[in-house]
Amino acid sequence: MKFTKLLSVFILITVLSQSLKAQEHTIKLDQADSLTLDDIIEFAIQHNPDVRNSQLDQLSNNASIKEITSQGMPQISASGNYNNNYALPQQILPGEIIGQPGTTVPVKFGVQNSITTSVQLNQMVYNPSFWVGLEAAKTSKTLYELSTFKTKEELVYNIIQAYYQIQITEEQIAILLRNLGTMDRLIDIAEVQYEEGIIKKLDVDQLKVNKINLDSEIQSSSLGLVQLKNHLKYLMGVPQSKEINLKRDQLSVSDFAQKNELNLETNTDLRLINIQKELNELEIKNIQAGYIPSVSFFANYGWQGQTDRLFSKEEQYDIVGSGTGSFGVSVNIPIFDSFQKKHQKQQVVIEKHKLENNRIKTEYATTMAYKNAREKLDVNLNLVATQKQNMELAQNLYDVSALSFKEGVAPLTELINAETSLRQSQTQYLSALLQVALAKLDLIKSSGSLPNKINQQYNTF
């Protein structure tokens, strides 16, 4: 498929992740020659555990933002209390108060049962730390969105890398199988020539040795293909016991000729660092807000009832109660914290410098990756063209040698050398084609063209 389609596949990431919320698109994994690159990415976005965890982190952060917002809303609480004073305390009073001078009288104070209820209202009026914290919480939403996109971006990169490796390996196996079929036919011809005394048995054995080498190479490539598919299933979130069948795509040089210009501003890693720097600035602002007084409003109402006997119909045991209430303003004025906030700020400032260093490091690393990918792409584009010509020449040489051997006019050594050269040229061509594909993939990732394309078309972030 054309490589321009790769960008379209990338662009679909956001739309696919949104459609996941509504329903999951049914993709048949085991249907023969059914899974395209689009299908693989779509399925992986829906089922990869890392993507799902990243999306869950977003949901958790959204709930955290609402939690912080609710702290600025009215806070109402209620409480109730029941006491059974089964042993009331006694006080000793002089007998004069009851007409018995010179004596003392023990008197119990209070009643056996008391009930207390209250309602408390608190409303924040002014607290600069709250507003800074709310701003930081909303900024963190962008951070989590970028983190989720970063997870998807890395997933898609790894999937396309594995996909190309699978395609090249399948093509290599197909070529080896064709070579094996040709080798079988040559062995049949050689055995006939041996019986007719044209060639020696040693020549036939040499062809059989080459066939064994071909078989070994096919088995090795087949094992590598199985491992690549297992890795792809892991990336897709598919159980290893499940079979997947990919659609075969013929790769060519023209698929990868497009180049992308470097744009650091749209690089996902750098955008993440920028958001972290914003949060760092808000943290400093929050520490400084701790020096400013805060104001809150409160109001409460309570009621207390007392009686010696509950649930009694006698008037003397009626509950006697009274209500109390108050409202006012509370002011908290920070005066001295033994330089605690000062030291907190120093730590955050140090973290700010580390973030700036990380940004410079990331810029250098991204620029280096971009230049390396571009150089690698240019070199391998030329190399794959050369290797293709070399493979065609080797194929022609082999065809001529095989025909001459069949007609008995060329020695077996010439055919074997031609067959070895053909296999080497085929392997080198496929290897160069794979390197071109991987270089183009690295170029797209490092250039920042993927996030920029998504922003232009979907205004995601």
Contact at 8 Å (CB) between 461 and 142? yes
Q: What is the structure's pLDDT at 252?
A: 62
Q: Which of the four pLDDT bands, split at 50, 70 and 90, describes residue 221? A: very high
Q: What is the structure's pLDDT at 28?
A: 61
pLDDT in tens, 254-268: 656 566 788 888 889
- Rounded CA gap, 194 and 274, in Å? 76
Q: Which residue's entry shows tokens 């003397």?
A: 316
Residues 446 and 324 in one domain: no
Residues 52 and 8 in one domain: yes
Q: What is the structure's pLDDT at 117?
A: 95
Q: What is the structure's pLDDT at 196?
A: 82
Provide the domain count of the chain.
2
Q: Which helix (H) or strand (E) holds 124?
A: strand 113-126
pLDDT in tens, 191-206: 888 888 877 888 888 8
pLDDT in tens, 16-28: 444 444 334 455 6
Which of 306, 333, 360 is the last residue in one of the domains?
333
Q: Which of the four pLDDT bands, split at 50, 70 and 90, describes residue 342? A: very high
Residues 111 and 150 in one domain: no
Residues 272 and 381 in one domain: yes
Q: What is the structure's pLDDT at 12?
A: 41
* Residues in CB range of 187: below 8 A, 6 or more apart: 204, 207, 208, 211
Q: Which of the four pLDDT bands, split at 50, 70 and 90, describes residue 452? A: low
Residues 211 and 114 in one domain: no
Contact at 8 Å (CB) between 83 and 113? yes
Residues 180 and 37 in one domain: yes
pLDDT: which is higher, 461 or 216? 216
User: In Å, what is the CA distance from 161 to each residue of 259, 300, 379, 434?
Assistant: 18, 65, 19, 9
With 80 as the cut, is the pLDDT of residue 40 above it?
yes
pLDDT: which is higher, 458 or 158? 158
Residues 162 and 270 in one domain: yes
Residues 83 and 177 in one domain: no
32-46, 299-313, 345-359, range with the lowest pLDDT = 32-46
Q: Cα(first)–Cα(last) distance of the chain, in Å? A: 29
Q: What is the structure's pLDDT at 458?
A: 33
Q: What is the structure's pLDDT at 460?
A: 43
Residues 65 and 98 in one domain: no
DSSP-derived 3-state class of residue 340: helix
For residues 108-127, give the mean pLDDT.
Answer: 90
Residues 223 and 144 in one domain: yes
61-70, 75-84, 97-106, range with the lowest pLDDT = 97-106
Residues 321 and 354 in one domain: no
Q: What is the structure's pLDDT at 88?
A: 83
Q: Which residue's entry shows tokens 């119909």?
A: 313
Q: What is the structure's pLDDT at 135?
A: 92
Q: DSSP labels for 66-114?
A: HHHHHTTS-EEEEEEEEEE-SS--EEEEEGGGGT-TT-EEEEE-S-SEE
Domain extent, residue 102, equals 76-126+297-333
Q: What is the structure's pLDDT at 30?
A: 55
Q: What is the structure's pLDDT at 257?
A: 57
Q: Which residues of 383-399 are buried (b: 16+ CB within 10 A; e: fewer)?
A: bbeebbebbeebeebbe
Q: For the whole model, what pTM was predicted?
A: 0.79
Work out the mean pLDDT of the chain and round it to a whole number: 84
Residues 369 and 347 in one domain: yes
- Give the residue among 250, 337, 330 at the shortest CA–CA distance from 298: 330
With 70 as the cut, is the pLDDT of residue 295 above it?
yes
With 90 as the cut, is the pLDDT of residue 353 above it?
yes
- Give the residue among 370, 347, 350, 346 at the shortest CA–CA distance from 269: 370
Q: Which long-range contacts (CB under 8 A, 24 or more apart) does 180-183 make?
A: 180/211, 180/214, 180/215, 180/218, 182/402, 183/207, 183/210, 183/211, 183/214, 183/419
What CATH number does the domain containing 373 carry? 1.20.1600.10
